[in-house]
Amino acid sequence: MSAQQIRVAWIQGGAAKCEILPPLPSRVFRLVLLGAPGVGKGTQAELLCERLGTCHLSTGDIFRAAKGLAEGERSPALEAALSYMKRGNLVPDQTVLDLVHERTSCLRCRSGFLLDGFPRTVAQAEAFAKIMAQEQIPLDAVLNYDLPIEKVVARLSGRRTCPKCKAVFHVTGRPPRVEGICDHCGTKLQQREDDRPEAVRVRMEVYEKSTKPLADFYRQRGLLVTIEAEGTPEEIYQRTLTALGSAGGGRQRHPSRTNAD
């Protein structure tokens, strides 16, 4: 049973439904995920969803899958988002909100959710709060993974990518067997332009500027849980569980709850 099969309703939107229902966990979490590039939040999302049974709702997955969908499978908001992307423009707040609104059934998923990539602005967060209130769905916590900028620079600037098979390595954390050569296809590894130290610093400055108001928004509402993103993935995962427990996150499974996907 693949994540793609489970998340049909999220990927396609509209009237699409998940034919294969996710397992019903003993404790349901409804979470939002924040974290700058390079802090390892993608790894934590995988661990949290795999071990807690939470459904991973990534807006990035919607955009990546959209290009492979036939026109009849695309919702109106998805068509609008694709038109912006084809022109090289950012997808505006309202279109992203429309995409999420088309998928409110996913917010009622019986396994809970881990929302990744949304909201990105205070305006989106305010609109999302209204959706959650209308649907009478409580948000348990907003997980904010934090790492000093120098360590983010070291992580990303050491990353090397295979241009052919897209495999990713790291010069110290996950080096290839032969320096500079992909283990899988033998192609020479490359450093992406946006992984160079100077580019990483610019990305971090942009992220901090755009995300600080969002973090403040959730902090004021008592939902922000900041987690130190230093250490092994397992250490960070255990730190996350401890933080969720301290924040009172997660709700006992309701015996009459059904999956709305």
C-beta of residue 162 within 8 angstroms of C-beta of residue 182: yes
164 is annotated as an active-site residue:
no
Which is it for the CA torsion 233, 238, 241, 245, positive or negative? negative
Q: Is 120 a catalytic residue?
A: yes
Catalytic site residue 203?
yes
Distance CA 253, CA 3 (A): 21
CA distance 26 to 52: 9
CA pair distance 209, 207, nearest whole angstrom: 5
Pick the catalytic residue from 7, 30, 110, 159.
159
Task: Please give the DSSP secondary-structure letter assigned to residue 232.
Answer: -
Backbone φ and ψ for 16, nearest 5 degrees, come out as -60, 145
Please indicate whether residue 251 is annotated as part of the active site.
no
Identify the active-site residue in 174, 188, 192, 212.
192
Query: Which residue type, as a one-letter code, is found at position 56?
Result: H
Q: Which of 30, 41, 110, 160 is catalytic?
A: 41
In whole angstroms, what is the distance from residue 122 CA to residue 196 CA? Answer: 29
* Structure tokens that stand for 71 in this block: 């026109």
Helix, coil or strand: residue 144: strand
- Choice among 108, 120, 196, 201 that is catalytic: 120
Catalytic residues: 41, 120, 159, 192, 203
